[in-house]
Amino acid sequence: MKNSMVEGLDYNPMFDKEIKEQIDVIPKDKFYRIKWDKVFKDQAIKNIMKEPIGYLIFYAKKVVSFLFITIDPQDSRYWHPLHYLPVLLLGITSLIGIVLSDKKSYKFNYLIFVFFLNVFIFSAATILPRYKLVILPLQIIFTNTLIEHIKEKFFNQRKNN
């Protein structure tokens, strides 16, 4: 996990001697990229098998970073309130909206499935800030579910009294 970071890293495989040696022996044919990717896949499997708990914790950090705010960001400007507060608020309100959504609705269940599928897939790879845009529309829909629930619970109650 020496080169692993939540938001990714400009990692150059040429710095790792073992990987560089494996890449250097790959023939430069039409299957070069496939064989090149296999080197990294094999190395990833080897690393995960060597330290499964560490990578599981790392994956959980990436999920939290993707849903809410990045843990240990590289950029010092990340901690500007105009950046992290809306992201955090939207993450929290969307998860509450998911909990409050109509589970009998196949449409909501489909959206929930797509939401978590995106979260878990993107969290398995490098998380770049632009990737959060994929779940933004779903976060807005689920946040709206929370707002509708609040409106029904508090504002319709006053009309009935």
For the chain, how far is it from start to end, CA to CA, in angstroms? 60
Give me the half-sphere count of Cα atoms (radius 13 Å) on the Cβ side of residue 4: 17
How far is the C-alpha of 160 from the C-alpha of 27, rounded, in Å? Answer: 76
How far is the C-alpha of 35 from the C-alpha of 19, rounded, in Å? Answer: 12
Interior angle at CA 115, CA 148 and CA 38, nearest 5: 170
- pLDDT at residue number 151: 94
Over residues 10-55, the pLDDT tens digits come to: 555 556 788 888 888 999 999 999 999 999 899 889 999 999 999 9
Q: Is the pTM of this model over 0.85?
A: no
Report the SS3 class of residue 75: coil
